[in-house]
């Protein structure tokens, strides 16, 4: 809209300029009145534009929370109704609407304030034009007198529209400012670099942390602090710890969702900080705690880039014990899945994420509390499938259920962003002084 507003301002400016030219041509003495009126007009315009610009910023700022709150309410409508919090969310929505109205109402009042003062300027111009034409009627032809008076009458609306168009243009600039803010938001690292390894990387799945530390934002405390460990290719590593110990931060670090504050991570002797994000993330596979399902067909959810045949997809579904469920769905692989997978159970959604991992089958698999939201039977099914199909892959399992990681090659116990224990689970359980033993005792695994 900015080019259109700019065009409107130019058109209206020349309209006003034309009126002033006609009035001064008919009676040059009118310039004596136009000069002070122009000064008053500029004063009113500048005051109004500064105010309207700030009000537009407030409206833009207050509108965003309404959209976010509405989106959150719609996505969580079932939970809100289940716990009977409808009134609370309605009150929150009304409060946010009230904040928006507090900034919209002054904008409406400011328009009335502007129109009143521009009317004063227009009326003064009409009165002065009439007085000058009456005084100098002997030297001006009657036709020119009528022309000047008719132009003076239209000037009032032209002046008002000029200021309104200028205000609209400045309000459009506020939108440009917000776009500029988004452009200046810190960006992720490049998706590709000239140092990217070939498509066979990673070949063994060796992961090495070298004095690695990271934080979520500059100025915050470290969430991982000086971690050094070496995970061999094909090892099954369980990562456990209390809430806030830094377990999920390891996942974020591997995928470079957060960047290193110091140290580095090497995968197959390649520093992941030196390669592109696309190449890095395509070489890793994750099954997240909250399954991510898109609206579309079952096939598009499992194989969005059409890299696998129907036979491969059905085999992966069979390995995840979902083939029978998929056949019962109307349309098979072309069955339509709703937004967020609401027409599937939580366990089925989690198994769909497992099918994706089976199709990709990279050398490194990360399970970020993947079985926290499923029952024990589904948990056992997922673990058996992973042990069988990812036998030669490096598997990092972040788990709250300690039974999930008891068959791991080694267990990494985290506390306050540090690795405090890293050994075979049997070795850690034999030592009653270890943190892992106390966690196992709390879980009822040992006496």
* Same domain flag for 374 and 412: yes
| Residues sharing a CB contact under 8 Å with residue 115, sequence separation 6 or more, in sequence order | 160
The total domain count for the chain is 2
Indicate whether 136 and 243 sit together in one domain: no
Q: Is residue 433 part of a domain?
A: yes
Same domain, 382 and 418: yes
Residues 159 and 248 in one domain: no
Asked whether residue 100 falls in the same domain as residue 240, the answer is no
> Pick from 29, 18, 14: which is nearest to 130 by CA?
29
Residues 258 and 112 in one domain: no
C-alpha pair distances (Å), 282 with each of 35, 200, 222, 394: 69, 11, 27, 15
- Domain CATH for 244: 3.40.50.300
Whole-angstrom Cα distance, residue 359 to residue 353? 10
pLDDT digits (tens, 9 = 90+) for 109-126: 988 888 888 888 888 888
Cα 352 to Cα 90, 226, 251: the distances in Å are 35, 36, 20
pLDDT attached to residue 406: 86
Last residue of a domain, one of 151, 183, 215: 183
Question: Has residue 447 been placed in a domain?
Answer: no
Strands 260-267 and 270-271: antiparallel
Per-residue model confidence (pLDDT) at position 412:
93
Residue 50's closest CA among 163, 159, 155, 162?
A: 163
Contact (Cβ atoms closer than 8 angstroms) between residue 396 and residue 239: yes
Yes or no: say if 236 and 173 are a contact pair by the CB < 8 Å rule: no
Final residue belonging to a domain, choices 183, 198, 215: 183
Q: For residue 386, with 0-12 CB atoms within 10 Å meaning exposed, 13-18 middle and 19 or more buried, which class applies?
A: buried
pTM of the full predicted structure? Answer: 0.66
Q: What pLDDT is stored for residue 373 in this prediction? A: 61
Q: 157 in a domain, yes or no?
A: yes
Does residue 335 form part of some domain? no
Give domain status of residue 197, yes or no: no
Quote the CA–CA distance of 201 and 338 in Å, as a whole number.
35
How do residues 51-98 score in pLDDT, each as one tens digit? 887 888 888 888 889 999 998 898 888 899 999 999 999 999 999 999
Residue 162's alpha-carbon distances to 22, 31, 176, 341, in angstroms, are 18, 20, 21, 53
pLDDT at 141: 78
User: Do 114 and 13 belong to one domain?
Assistant: yes
| Assigned domain for 245 exists | yes
Residues 217 and 364 in one domain: yes
Residues 224, 168, single domain; the answer is: no
Tell me: do 157 and 237 sit in the same domain: no
Alpha-carbon gap, residue 136 to 132, rounded angstroms: 6
In whole angstroms, what is the distance from residue 69 CA to residue 89 CA?
9
Hey, what's the torsion of the CAs at 44, 48, 50, 52, to 10 degrees? Answer: -170
Classify residue 323 as exposed, middle or buried by CB count within 10 Å of its CB (0-12, 13-18, 19+).
middle
Provide the pLDDT for residue 372: 63
Contact in structure between 415 and 426 (CB atoms under 8 Å) = no
Of the residues 167, 183, 199, which one is the last residue of a structural domain? Answer: 183
Q: What domain range includes position 105?
A: 2-183
Examine the domain organization and report whether 275 and 372 are in the same domain.
yes
Radius of gyration of the chain (CA): 35
Degrees, nearest 5: CA angle 251-191-187: 80
Within a domain: residue 314? Answer: no
Give the separation between CA 371 and CA 287, rounded to whole angstroms: 9
Which of 264, 275, 260 lies closest to 229, judged by CA?
264
Give CA separation, 156 vs 146, 313, 328, in Å. 17, 73, 73
In-domain check, residue 338 = no
Nearest to 175 by CA among 5, 362, 418: 5
Residue 86 sits in a domain whose CATH number is 1.20.1560.10
Whether residue 40 sits in one domain with residue 174 = yes
Tens-binned pLDDT, residue by residue, of the chain (447 aa): 888 989 999 999 998 888 888 888 887 878 787 888 888 888 888 888 888 878 888 888 888 899 999 988 988 888 999 999 999 999 999 999 999 998 889 988 988 888 888 888 888 888 888 888 777 777 777 788 788 878 877 777 888 888 888 878 877 887 788 788 888 888 888 888 888 898 889 889 999 999 999 999 888 899 999 999 999 999 999 999 888 888 889 999 999 999 999 999 999 999 999 999 999 999 999 988 788 888 889 899 899 888 889 899 999 988 888 888 888 877 788 888 887 788 888 778 888 888 898 898 889 999 887 666 667 777 777 778 888 888 889 999 988 778 888 888 999 999 989 999 999 999 999 988 999 999 888 888 887
């Amino acid at each position: 809209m900015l080019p259109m507003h700019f065009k409107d301002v130019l058109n209206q400016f020349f309209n006003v300029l034309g009126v002033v030219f006609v009035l001064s041509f008919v009676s040059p003495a009118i310039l004596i009145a136009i000069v002070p009126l122009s000064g008053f007009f500029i004063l009113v315009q500048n005051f109004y534009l500064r105010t309207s610009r700030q009000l537009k910023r407030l409206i833009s700022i207050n509108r965003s929370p309404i959209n976010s709150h509405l989106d959150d309410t719609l996505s969580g409508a079932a939970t809100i109704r289940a716990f009977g919090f409808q009134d609370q969310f309605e009150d929150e929505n009304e409060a946010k609407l009230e904040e928006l109205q507090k900034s919209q109402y002054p904008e409406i009042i400011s328009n009335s304030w502007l129109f009143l003062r521009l009317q004063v300027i227009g009326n003064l111009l009409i009165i002065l034009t009439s007085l000058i034409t009456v005084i100098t009627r002997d030297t001006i032809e009657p036709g020119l007198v009528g022309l000047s008076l008719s132009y003076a009458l239209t000037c009032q609306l032209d002046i008002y529209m000029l200021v309104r168009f200028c205000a609209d243009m400045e309000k459009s600039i506020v939108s440009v400012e917000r776009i500029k803010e988004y452009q200046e938001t810190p960006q992720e690292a490049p998706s590709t670099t000239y140092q990217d390894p070939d498509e066979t990387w990673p070949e063994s799945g060796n992961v090495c942390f070298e004095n690695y530390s990271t934080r979520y934002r500059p100025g915050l405390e470290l969430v991982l602090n000086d971690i050094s460990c070496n995970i061999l290719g094909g090892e099954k590593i369980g990562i456990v710890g209390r809430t806030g110990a830094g377990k999920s931060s390891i996942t974020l670090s591997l995928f470079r969702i957060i960047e290193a504050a110091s140290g580095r991570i090497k995968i197959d002797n390649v520093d992941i900080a030196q390669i592109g994000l696309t190449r890095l993330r395509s070489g890793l596979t994750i099954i997240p705690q909250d399954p991510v399902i898109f609206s579309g067909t079952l096939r598009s959810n499992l194989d969005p880039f059409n890299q696998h045949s129907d036979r491969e997809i059905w085999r992966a579904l069979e390995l995840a014990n979902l083939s029978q469920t998929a056949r019962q769905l109307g349309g098979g692989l072309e069955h339509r899945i709703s937004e967020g997978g609401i027409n599937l159970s939580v366990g089925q959604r989690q198994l769909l994420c497992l099918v994706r991992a089976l199709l990709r089958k990279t050398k490194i698999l990360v399970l970020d509390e993947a079985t926290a939201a499923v029952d024990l039977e589904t948990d056992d099914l997922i673990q058996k499938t992973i042990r069988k199909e990812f036998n030669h892959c490096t598997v990092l399992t972040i788990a709250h259920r300690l039974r999930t990681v008891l068959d791991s090659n080694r267990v990494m116990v985290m506390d306050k962003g540090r690795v405090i224990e890293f050994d075979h689970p049997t070795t850690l359980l034999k030592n009653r002084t270890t943190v892992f033993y106390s966690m196992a005792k709390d879980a009822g695994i040992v006496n």
